[in-house]
Structure 1
Amino acid sequence: MLQVTAGGTAAASRWASIGISRIHALLLAIFGLALAGPATALARVGGSPWYMLAALVSLVTAVLVWRRSGRAPVVYGIFLLATLIWSVWEVGFEPWALLPRLGMPIILGLPFLAGVWPRGRRGAVLAGVGVLLLGVVWVEASAWRAEPSVPDGMGASAAVSGDWRHYGNDAGGTRFSPLGQIGPMNVAALEPAWTFRFGPSAVAAPVTLETTPLAVAGRLFLCTGDNDVIALDGDSGRQLWRFRAHADGRGVPIASCRGVAYHRQPNVAGPCAERILTATMDARLIALDASNGRPCAGFGIDGAVDLRAGLGRVDKGYYFVTSPPQIIGNRAVVGGWVVDGQYVGEPSGVVRAFDVHSGALAWAFDAGRPDRRGPPQPGEQYTPGTPNSWAPMSVDEGLGMVYVPTGNATPDYYGASRRPFDDRFSSAVVALDAATGTVRWVFQTVHHDLWDYDVASQPTLTDINGVPALIQPTKRGEIFVLDRRTGRPIAPVEERAVPRSTVPGERAAPTQPFSSGMPSFAGETLTEADMWGLTPIDQALCRAAFRRARYDGPLTPPGLDRPSLIYPGYGGGINWGGVSIDVARGIMIVNSNRVGNLVQLITRDAARRRGIVPLSVNSHGGAAGAVAQEGLPYAADLKPLISPIGVPCQKPPWGMIAAVDLQSRRLLWSRPLGTGRDSGPFGMGSQLPFTMGVPNTGGSIATASGLTFIGATHDRYLRAIETRTGCELWRGRLPAGGQATPMMFRSPRTGREFVVIAAGGHPGLGTKGGDYVIAYALPQRK
């Protein structure tokens, strides 16, 4: 009886072994067949032959496993060892670069260790798998794991103001808080103090919540993505008042409001002595009484100025304001966002200053008519299609200057029809006289911009070695440091030759400015080996896409015959989040992206066949997709460089944070920013806590206590980082994407200090949406 049972058990074990072998063979065959197509496509464009070899070995091994041949583990073990050698030869020991090369082969080799094969036959594959598992360990062991370090001290000053009165705390946009109650020694105790929710949006447009609140005398003033303005009690988050803008969002690609402006009339009491100024997606500049949110009756008409005046034709959604007005003296200066790439002659990018009390036009800077400071004459209009200014501006009251970051002239990707003034003022920082709007100086960050490298970041004003400096971050990842009195570089800038255009009629600039005196945040020049994926299958597809594209290094211009790889892409580099300055330590904090995009010009006939037309009031367009560029010979097709499963094709990190010593201009530290918890294929969160560096949108703030606070990342966290070392000391989970710049203030009633961030997600980044404003503070003493 025991013999029968033993025999039955042996038979069952044998059949189980055969079953496992069959399943293993099928998995190997499926992988080999799935890889064969991408591997062939890659080989046809001259890419790496390893993927063809991997597909062939997988199929051969599948046959051997099906036959239960003892050669199967030997063949596969040799392949694994060869894979390890090839991988290390191609990318070294970079953990995230090794993952797609080693991960799937390891998984498919594990069944050889499941007791199905005789021990002698398992030896080769055991050695291969064992060595390769070290690569997986490298992924987490080499990823940044910041440990708390010994702080310099609290650095607090009880005498400093606890307010946050400008978008960047000061008019120069340093985003520096002199407060120090929350420091490296106690930040780990930070906890939510209150949460406020705006409620659902009232517009049909996609909405993002990018607002940075102002704090004045214990009150917070902030805006929603659809332009409502709200005042909150800073201690409790209780709503004090709400102004409903009833903004018309038709045709708006993405509705956003980064903040509002505050003005106090000295020695005056009564209605609107304190006022909040805001601008809307339907192009209104509005003044509100800071005490109750009611429109200021003496400002414009019923508290509003129509910003469409003088612009001529303005289609809905083509012109609006996303950044807060900039106040200097009794004037509010505003630019405007103009939709990218639609047609020749889109609305003007005119920059205007209005009297903060009456709303009367003080001056206008029209790039096409810089000598004309007033409104257009009857029958005329501001020059259409000029470079616009949508990013936050900065001012220097002492010098009497407004610093205006400009975009590239529309349409974006073909510039043969641009006028001399377009090429002068495009993608630049322009210093204007605050009293008259006269141009004081111009520094251009990109000549004849064909890449949508508009200057998206607020110019940051600080003193460096006694020189009044302006720091201009750019989407290119270059940071230019200028004397803000003259516009001359403080850190050396050199002109370097760049790839030439092959498009008929185009006149791309032969050289471009590079900030040789500052660290670059553009990332390394890409190669095929830098392409990534979760598996060899999507990695091979990414490598093939890279090989098919034209990429001759930075600033490769768009072409007709194939896509051009633009790296960094139109998201930066450094976008509207800009940089923050630890004024006490002379350290600049920079968060940046390393994600590329593909751009290809399309003939007008082909564009018509594809139905590529300018956006209408019923359509909402984002950064990716085809743009009509109507009035030019070519439309343009834009695509992010991502794999078919929605993962960036470049290897991680995709997002970084770094610190620069402004005195020596030396890079102090640089780290990947963000984990893979909320990232994954097809937009699904992987829940993996590994630090990999993820795309980010938003900015940081620095504090006198030695902390840097930043949200911005694709994973939903607000982080506290030690400014001196880059060590992450605390993180707080957000209920939605924190694509906004935080702020810090102190309550005049309780003395308690708060860090506040808006969490509403971002459609372009693919983060979870929401309507939250969250204040964090140390626990109250009982």
Structure 2
Amino acid sequence: MQIGRWGAVVALTLSGMLLWQTQPQHANVVAAAVRGAEHSARNWPAYNGGVNGDHYSPLTQINRSNVHQLKVAWTFDTHEKGGLQTNPLVIGGVLYGYTPTQKVIALDAATGELIWTFDPGKPGTQPTRGFSYWTDGKASILFAGALTNLYALDPATGRPILTFGDKGKIDLRRGLTDGDYSGIYLAPTTPGVIFKDMIIVGFRAPEAEPALHGDIRAFDVHTGALRWTFHTIPHPGEYGYETWPKDAWKITGAANNWAGMSLDEKRGIVYAPTGSAVTDFYGDDRAGDDLFADTLLALDANTGKRIWHFQDVHHDIWDRDFPSPPALVTVHREGKAIDAVAQTTKQGFVFLFDRTNGKPLFPIEEKAFSASNVPGETTSPTQPVPQMPLPYARQLLTADMLTTRTPEAHAWAEEQFKTFRSEGQFIPFSVDKQTVVFPGYDGGAEWGGPAVDPRSGVIYINANDVAWTGGLTANEAGGGEGANLYQSQCSMCHGADRKGSPPAFPSLIDVDKRLSDASITDLIHHGKQRMPSFPGVTGERLDAILAFLRAGPGAMNTAQSDRAQRASAGASARTANAVTSSKSEMGTSGAPVVEARYHFTGYRKFLDPDGYPAIVPPWGTLNAIDLNTGKYLWKIPLGEYPELAAKGMKGTGSENYGGPVVTAGGIVIVSATIYDRKIRAFDSRTGKLLWESELPYAGNATPATYMIDGKQYVVIAASGARNPNGPQGAAYVAFALP
């Protein structure tokens, strides 16, 4: 354990469950530090730098002329494996971060020395991207999400504030269903925003039923009491109710704000982008446009009332939900300044609106697209497409874009491509035929979000440019409860054939030879990284899915064990009528929901036999767009594969997760890339690479920058989870000038 200027570390325990470590003799010193100048330029006081979502820092000590001199100032090793997607807060010289198991840590931001640790008592492995921080200048509260809970912590000590909610926490599932929520998954992945004495929150939800209602809610920062709720799936009499089937609000879930929000503090408007409604890829039970799924909402932050909205995808069946908080920016048109909100998308679009009324600042065309031929599916006849700026990711995969990395890879890609349907955006999936999704399910833009320079109105977007495919297949009756569970809950990620799309979605073939039943059960109940948890899969249902994974498709009629036979027999009547009968699970209000006739065949990344994207580069880019005009200033590949670069194939770009930061020093700082494990700084005017440094693990997070005692730092959370073939571990790495 590290000992530094904060003194010795002691451990305290509350009720045998809540653990923290701190130095009580320095509590007053730390408390004074965190109360001082929380919103000054020296700090990084909110997720992504500020509640306006612009990822901007006014610091100039590190600039174009000297950024090449950056050196590692300190490293904090979490001594854990897993993923880190955290954009840490830095306030009053203290850095607040997570570990991969969702412990909250406070570090001396100048040295990386540990000040305190808060352990919620049960390890979690879901992404945790940041914190919310409230202060009135006298008292302060650090809000941290872990498991299904929102915790209120004392920033000076890490101890829960016992007057908040249930002894320092609230279970965010409460109030989102009329029934039992204990078996339903929810994760506070992205932090809420603070407005006055409220914290406004969303959450991550499952991609299939059962899923909780995606309500956006505000809670009192002192007590945890609910202050207001906005129903993203409207109730009778509410705006948008007619865009769903009657009573859909009783049985349909998600349409949740998982990506985070931005706030116009002066106007009191919170901007909340929402996700898709379940299930993601087949919507026979939600005919209509499905407001407010896939919608940018402008809400009155005082009351939660809708001011305006824009739906990005009508009746989404492609998982094209908004991936990140929007960025607030002021643009100039015909000599007038217009306060605007810019929203990036997985499709590669940027939508720009007047912040006050939602009026588009670039033309948007409701473009006609072909209808679905899948029985039961009714797609929207049109989808909104902005005319400017041009997309920052490619939109249509054609045969001349297939990989030329090797003749063998090209020939393989040609044969595969002949079996696909590839017609561009918003093409409905077919049954038993793969349709190209390009850019893929991971964007275009992803959860890291863009950076905006408020002085120039230029937006900086890092994007993925890799093709995936998707399709539908009919649900099969008679396979037993294990097969039924796998179809409805697992096949979306791991595929109907259980082959997955490694490394993001591992193959489950022979998984019983790699993992014990206990290990598989732990993954099912607690999830890991991109995999949600399934706490409701217990007893005979758990036995059935374990037996299915051991036996494989089609084998559930073979006796695996007495308990598996009982589970299968008990479900046989339900499974035999799976096409038309009620599901075993209930909707979010306790009402039965109809079993879908088709399910998604699984996320399939279009990779060649060697594991590289089966299309020509760039596979990832960094883009600079002038939002005043809609024109590109520059566009460059971001990232590379070291082994390909060593063979002369450089500048390919690669998948990237985590956003950029832009500073008044004229630099754009971004890590994000998976395979080269680098953090980079570019000239914000030209895109010229000014500096790069290799990290111990991939920096799949957004950096933060801050100043202490006259020295500016840049810090990044790094981890190995995205690349299982690379180094494994997790650390925070800070850089500064010599």
| 1:757 pairs with one of 713, 716, 724 | 716
Partner Cα separation in structure 2 for residue 765 and residue 488 of structure 1: 45
| Contact 1:368/1:383 (8 A) holds in 2 | no
| 1:308 pairs with one of 159, 164, 173 | 173
| Aligned residue number for residue 771 of structure 1 | 730
Task: State yes or no: 1:693 paired with 2:653.
Answer: yes
| 238 and 370 in structure 1: CA distance in 2 versus 1, 3 angstrom threshold | farther
| Contact 1:279/1:322 (8 A) holds in 2 | yes
Q: How does 1:388-427 map to 2 (within 5 A)?
A: 388-418=256-286, 423-427=290-294
| Contact 1:560/1:600 (8 A) holds in 2 | yes
Partner Cα separation in structure 2 for residue 461 and residue 283 of structure 1: 29
| Contact 2:396/2:422 (8 A) holds in 1 | no
| 319 and 504 in structure 1: CA distance in 2 versus 1, 3 angstrom threshold | same
Deviation at 1:738, TM superposition (A): 0.5
| Contact 1:533/1:542 (8 A) holds in 2 | no
Q: How does 1:707-726 map to 2 (within 5 A)?
A: 707-714=667-674, 715-726=676-687
Q: Which runs of 5+ in 1 are unaligned?
A: 1-158, 202-206, 374-379
Deviation at 1:700, TM superposition (A): 0.1
| Aligned residue number for residue 172 of structure 1 | 52
The one-letter code sitting in structure 1 at the alignment partner of 2:690 is: L
Please tell me the root mean square deviation across aligned C-alpha atoms, in Å.
Answer: 2.7
Instruction: Report SS of the residue matched to 1:605.
Output: coil
| Aligned residue number for residue 211 of structure 1 | 86
Partner Cα separation in structure 1 for residue 649 and residue 691 of structure 2: 14
Deviation at 1:764, TM superposition (A): 7.2
Partner Cα separation in structure 1 for residue 369 and residue 407 of structure 2: 33
Q: How does 1:4-43 map to 2 (within 5 A)?
A: none
Instruction: Report SS of the residue matched to 2:471.
Output: strand
| Contact 1:350/1:382 (8 A) holds in 2 | no
| Aligned residue number for residue 565 of structure 1 | 436
| 1:227 pairs with one of 102, 110, 130 | 102
| Contact 1:737/1:769 (8 A) holds in 2 | no
| Contact 1:233/1:240 (8 A) holds in 2 | yes
| 261 and 227 in structure 1: CA distance in 2 versus 1, 3 angstrom threshold | same
Partner Cα separation in structure 2 for residue 767 and residue 607 of structure 1: 42
Partner Cα separation in structure 2 for residue 499 and residue 188 of structure 1: 51
Instruction: Report SS of the residue matched to 2:141.
Output: strand
| 1:644 pairs with one of 609, 630, 639 | 609
| Contact 1:279/1:325 (8 A) holds in 2 | no
The one-letter code sitting in structure 2 at the alignment partner of 1:591 is: N
499-508 or 718-727, larger mean C-alpha shift: 499-508
735-744 or 231-240, larger mean C-alpha shift: 231-240
Deviation at 1:219, TM superposition (A): 1.1
Deviation at 1:172, TM superposition (A): 0.7
Q: How does 1:332-731 map to 2 (within 5 A)?
A: 332-340=199-207, 342-343=208-209, 345-369=210-234, 384-418=252-286, 423-465=290-332, 466-532=337-403, 534-605=405-476, 608=479, 612-615=487-490, 618-619=523-524, 620=527, 631-638=595-602, 639-677=604-642, 690-714=650-674, 715-731=676-692
Partner Cα separation in structure 2 for residue 458 and residue 383 of structure 1: 27
Instruction: Report SS of the residue matched to 1:362.
Output: strand
Deviation at 1:372, TM superposition (A): 9.9
Partner Cα separation in structure 2 for residue 388 and residue 490 of structure 1: 26
Deviation at 1:555, TM superposition (A): 1.6
1:351-395 CA deviation, whole Å, 9 max, x = no partner?
A: 11111111111111122346899xxxxxx9986414111112111
Instruction: Report SS of the residue matched to 2:353.
Output: strand
Instruction: Report SS of the residue matched to 1:423.
Output: coil
| 529 and 419 in structure 1: CA distance in 2 versus 1, 3 angstrom threshold | closer
Partner Cα separation in structure 1 for residue 632 and residue 478 of structure 2: 46
1:209-237 CA deviation, whole Å, 9 max, x = no partner?
A: 01011111111111223221111111111
| Aligned residue number for residue 279 of structure 1 | 145
The one-letter code sitting in structure 2 at the alignment partner of 1:256 is: P
Deviation at 1:452, TM superposition (A): 0.7
Partner Cα separation in structure 2 for residue 753 and residue 464 of structure 1: 29
1:33-74 CA deviation, whole Å, 9 max, x = no partner?
A: xxxxxxxxxxxxxxxxxxxxxxxxxxxxxxxxxxxxxxxxxx
Partner Cα separation in structure 2 for residue 444 and residue 767 of structure 1: 39
Partner Cα separation in structure 1 for residue 94 and residue 198 of structure 2: 23
Instruction: Report SS of the residue matched to 1:319.
Output: coil
Partner Cα separation in structure 1 for residue 183 and residue 127 of structure 2: 15
Partner Cα separation in structure 2 for residue 709 and residue 306 of structure 1: 36
Given the two structures, how large is their TM-score scaled by the length of structure 1? Answer: 0.72
Partner Cα separation in structure 1 for residue 530 and residue 106 of structure 2: 32
| Aligned residue number for residue 4 of structure 1 | none
Partner Cα separation in structure 2 for residue 208 and residue 178 of structure 1: 30
Partner Cα separation in structure 2 for residue 437 and residue 602 of structure 1: 40
| Contact 1:569/1:595 (8 A) holds in 2 | yes
Partner Cα separation in structure 1 for residue 453 and residue 364 of structure 2: 24
The one-letter code sitting in structure 2 at the alignment partner of 1:426 is: A
Deviation at 1:614, TM superposition (A): 2.0
| Contact 1:262/1:275 (8 A) holds in 2 | yes
| Contact 1:700/1:741 (8 A) holds in 2 | yes
Deviation at 1:617, TM superposition (A): 6.5
Count of residues in Structure 1 that have an aligned counterpart in Structure 2? 590
The one-letter code sitting in structure 2 at the alignment partner of 1:636 is: F
Deviation at 1:313, TM superposition (A): 4.1
| Aligned residue number for residue 561 of structure 2 | none
| 583 and 351 in structure 1: CA distance in 2 versus 1, 3 angstrom threshold | same
Partner Cα separation in structure 2 for residue 623 and residue 297 of structure 1: 32
Partner Cα separation in structure 2 for residue 776 and residue 480 of structure 1: 34
| 2:158 pairs with one of 290, 293, 317 | 293
1:380-433 CA deviation, whole Å, 9 max, x = no partner?
A: 99864141111121111122111111001010001121165x711111111111
Deviation at 1:257, TM superposition (A): 0.5
| 260 and 522 in structure 1: CA distance in 2 versus 1, 3 angstrom threshold | same
Instruction: Report SS of the residue matched to 1:338.
Output: coil
More helix by share: 1
| Contact 2:83/2:730 (8 A) holds in 1 | no
315-324 or 523-532, larger mean C-alpha shift: 315-324
| Contact 1:366/1:382 (8 A) holds in 2 | no
Partner Cα separation in structure 2 for residue 171 and residue 225 of structure 1: 25
Instruction: Report SS of the residue matched to 2:217.
Output: strand
Partner Cα separation in structure 2 for residue 666 and residue 335 of structure 1: 33
| Structure of higher CA gyration radius | 1
| 322 and 634 in structure 1: CA distance in 2 versus 1, 3 angstrom threshold | same
Partner Cα separation in structure 2 for residue 560 and residue 381 of structure 1: 28
Deviation at 1:538, TM superposition (A): 2.4
Which of the pair has the greater relative contact order for Cα pairs under 8 Å at 6+ separation? 2
1:144-171 CA deviation, whole Å, 9 max, x = no partner?
A: xxxxxxxxxxxxxxx9621111112121
Partner Cα separation in structure 1 for residue 416 and residue 479 of structure 2: 26
User: How many percent identity over aligned positions?
Assistant: 36
1:86-120 CA deviation, whole Å, 9 max, x = no partner?
A: xxxxxxxxxxxxxxxxxxxxxxxxxxxxxxxxxxx
Instruction: Report SS of the residue matched to 1:754.
Output: strand
The one-letter code sitting in structure 2 at the alignment partner of 1:649 is: A
